[in-house]
Structure 1
């Protein structure tokens, strides 16, 4: 009887998102044994989409994807959206969907400010409400608060219509991470069995053929940029009035200080206008680079698959020969067993998503 070929473990892909400093990289390092750079305070160390090495958990191959927040200290929101969109659309076109999304939030935050709300809003625009069943809202840094204060903040997050309430009503789960490996593994176990789903931005860009500026996330970003520009223009008008007053009063020191502030505001306005203009063009350029890299890696994967199938056939042949020939000497049997073990090691499938994802994220380092 021909031995059955060993089934390959299912590959599960989970993205980790959230504001800068929310503990995304720390969580990934804890559960995967990776060594992603971790920032101190609110300084970002994740300035690109990054795929960590695949690891086995609960009989599945798990790949985690680290993403920068939409409040990065070194990269604009336009560049963040461009990178995430190109990454997600290219991997989707390659046949990969996410089984889960983790949104990290510090329970130690005294209050949820505008930056956290903006990150959550962009997260929802990227995912779409139809994928919320695959979302886990994960609170962490519980050791930095008392149990009573943490529970009170958790209740506020859960019930506030401007925070987590709509996401939870859409089917998302709210979980705690206690900072341990076991706790992180339990969160992944909660998501690993999900049916992989298409994110809203993947459907918009790939299936519907929209320009990135026409996607829900692109529209939301443009709205944010327009509001920032309006605010800066109002501040500029106020500064201009103060400068005229300082000039009338011959207050040269104040006038120079206001001139410096005016220059900074003008630079900010110019940058916002540039960000709004370049999103579509630069996304198309980076998406083309990502598509070409994916095409190359898929050719390599096909060659690897063919070689793996040949090794599996050789393993089956050796096993059948050992089964049918019981007169083999012990030394011959041991030699054949070693050959089979070597072939099995070489046939072990790597995380295919991590290979494709790694090929793409290497294009977007800033």
Structure 2
């Protein structure tokens, strides 16, 4: 009997907010105790990290990513960095699925959550939603599950923030913070990937072009639109704020209220200016990122990246 061809590793991205338990999930799934695990909401994973493990005889590469809702980086920056890192490492070639961890103990801004879900769509594409598992975590921290169950059903139901995932065939499940539970969830991605027979995700397909500029991808365009919209909003706020500028005499006034009024205005103005400059830098950096494909001797494509 001819030997069976060796199957490539299953590539799974692990995503979620800071404190969702992504690194803990990776640790229990892989029996790795050397992975840094954050305390509370303190983010530990600042850059994506790939960990190899075996699930039911299949080789799996679990890609642990930085947490959303980071006080130092916006969700948009994090997803931009994840997308670039995946393309740079070549993992977009065979990205099999996504596990989105959601801690039931935290409340979230629904607007930010919808934006985050929309950006994830630009990485995966709706055709890949069957290879998404939304896994709720922190069940051991609850006294009563009734209210939480209702909130999860609302998010998963019609018009909920995960409705697109649900309609696209994603799986909603629970994670109980142990190896058996983690492997069960990973197995969902393995089974769905086998059913898809190697079909790619949206970012993978869009980058499979020679000299692909990151802003030519759906993710890149969405990030570019968000940045441009944010810049316009901040510019309008700055213009409005300049019109509210206190008299110059307030700057060194002997009146404590007038000095406070000036300091408050100046602090808000400086913060707006800082945010504007930050987004302008992010937009330039985004526009400079190019993923280059070149043919290797065996005729297959390989990836590299550069900035201009």
The normalised TM-score by structure 1 is 0.69
Is the Cα–Cα contact under 8 Å of residues 21 and 137 in structure 2 kept in the other structure? yes
C-alpha deviation, 1:174, in angstroms: 0.8
Computing the radius of gyration over CA atoms, which structure comes out larger, 1 or 2? Answer: 1
Cα offset for 1:245?
Answer: 5.8
Equivalent in the alignment of 2:224: 222
Give the distance between the partners of 2:112 and 2:67, measured in 1 at CA.
Answer: 10
Aligned to 2:111: 114
Aligned residue in 2 for 1:127: 124
1:148 corresponds to which residue? Answer: 146
2:24 and 2:126 map into 1 onto residues whose CA distance is 27
Matching residue of 2:156: 158
Which stretch has the larger CA shift, 150-159 or 257-266?
257-266
Q: Pick one of 252, 256, 261 that aligns with 2:259.
A: 252
Alpha carbons of 1:64 and 1:248: their partners in 2 closer, same or farther (altered >3 Å)? closer
In structure 1, what is the equivalent of residue 238 of structure 2?
Answer: 236
Aligned partners of 1:37 and 1:192: how far apart in 2?
Answer: 26
Partner Cα distance (1:248, 1:95) in 2: 56
Query: SS at 2:244's partner residue?
Result: helix
Partners of 2:287 and 2:48 lie apart in 1 by 19
Alignment-derived partner of residue 38 in structure 1: 37
Question: Which residue number in structure 1 is paired with residue 207 of structure 2?
Answer: 205
- Pairwise CA distance, 1:134: 0.9
8 Å contact from structure 2 (residues 26, 62) kept in 1: yes
Q: CA deviation at 1:242?
A: 3.5
Runs of 5+ consecutive residues of structure 2 not aligned to the other structure: none
C-alpha deviation, 1:55, in angstroms: 1.9
Partner of residue 174, structure 1:
172
Name whichever structure is richer in strand by fraction.
2
Q: Map 1:266-305 to 2 at 5 A.
A: 266-281=273-288, 283-284=289-290, 287=291
Cα drift, residue 248 of structure 1 = 7.1
Equivalent-residue separation in structure 2 for 1:39 and 1:84 (angstroms): 19
CA displacement, residues 18-71 of structure 1 (integer Å, 9 cap, x when unaligned) = 22332211211111123332223433222222101x222211112101122454
Residue 198 of structure 1 aligns to a residue whose secondary structure is coil
Aligned residues: 291
Separation of aligned partners in 1, 2:7 and 2:47: 28
8 Å contact 2:215–2:286 — kept in the other structure?
A: yes
Q: Where does residue 261 of structure 1 map in the other structure?
A: 268
Q: Distance in 2 between matches of 1:170 and 1:192?
A: 17
CA deviation string 1:123-180 (max 9, x = no partner) = 1111000111111111111223321012111111111424111111011111111222
Identify which range, 105-114 or 266-275, moves more after superposition.
105-114
Partner secondary structure for residue 65 of structure 1: strand
Is the contact made by 1:55 and 1:63 (CA closer than 8 Å) also made in structure 2?
A: yes
- 1:100 paired with 2:97, answer yes
Identify if the C-alpha distance between structure 1 residues 257 and 226 changes in structure 2 by more than 3 Å, giving closer, same or farther.
same
**RMSD, aligned α-carbons:** 3.3
Q: Is the Cα–Cα contact under 8 Å of residues 9 and 59 in structure 2 kept in the other structure? A: yes
How do 1:303-318 residues align onto structure 2 when only pairs under 5 Å count?
none
